[in-house]
Structure 1
Amino acid sequence: MHYLLCYDLAPDYLERRGQYRDEHLKLAWEAQERGDLILAGACSDPADMSFLIFQSESAALIEAFAKADPYLIHGIVTGYKIRKWNTVVGKDAFTPLRPE
């Protein structure tokens, strides 16, 4: 299944992220290299949210990722949600649906 990890970012995210950015990116790239993390990035204008797309059998892997993320540990991420994402269109959709 696909999962979305939705981060709420602190108002001073852009000013504070530099101190922990390498650690955060290392964690993310390691997850990507294992095949767990598909895409990730922050929104802009305003920079108040970021989204990470995972593929996993359960949300436990995503929960562990979030709890290990230096951005969450140091308060740059102020909250998060994990949502199962029922993908139906695209070559990587888990349950592709086509019109009859």
Structure 2
Amino acid sequence: MASAAPANSYMLLQYKYVPDILEKRGPFREQHLAGANKMAEQQKLMVAGAVADPVDGAVFIFRNVSKEEVDAFVASDPYFQNGLIPSYSVRPYMVVAGDSS
């Protein structure tokens, strides 16, 4: 049974991409973005995007979700399913400044 997330809690998801992500992501990008946008529409994903220079990973910040929900999001991500994410981490994220309402 998944644990419930406390109100106003955050989770940080970090992806590590394969070195040639920009060349390999094409067939999976639309579904990858759709999954992220679905979580954003549900107000569970606050921000997400790739890190650049070089593009070697991505960062997602979720709000009021459990670690199990984030793990399920990763498992359903076509980038993960197709080997474009060799590793990832999920950690609690403590907001100390900015919009945390």
Match of 1:47, SS state, is: coil
Other-structure match for 1:74: 82
Aligned length: 93
In structure 2, do the counterparts of structure 1 residues 23 and 57 end up closer, same or farther at CA, with 3 Å as the change threshold? Answer: closer
TM-score by length of 1: 0.88
Rg larger in structure: 1
Q: Is 1:19 matched with 2:32?
A: no
In structure 2, what is the equivalent of residue 33 of structure 1? 41
Cα deviation, 1:13-54, whole Å, max 9, x if unaligned, reads: 010111100000110100000011111000111111100110
1:90 match = 98
Distance in 1 of aligned mates of 2:33 and 2:27: 12
Runs of 4+ in structure 1 deviating by more than 6 angstroms, as ranges, are none
Q: Secondary structure of 2:88's partner?
A: strand
Tell me the distance in 1 between the aligned counterparts of 2:32 and 2:99.
Answer: 29
Residue deviations 1:65-94 (CA, integer Å, cap 9, x gap) = 01100000001111100010011111216x
Q: Which runs of 5+ in 2 are unaligned?
A: 1-8
Q: Which amino acid aligns with 1:79?
A: S
Alignment-derived partner of residue 59 in structure 1: 67
* SS of residue matched to 1:23: helix
Aligned-pair identity (%): 37
Alpha-carbon RMSD? 1.1
TM-score, length-normalised on structure 2? 0.87
Q: Secondary structure at the match of 1:42?
A: strand
> Hey, what's the Cα distance between the residues in 2 that align with 1:46 and 1:80?
17
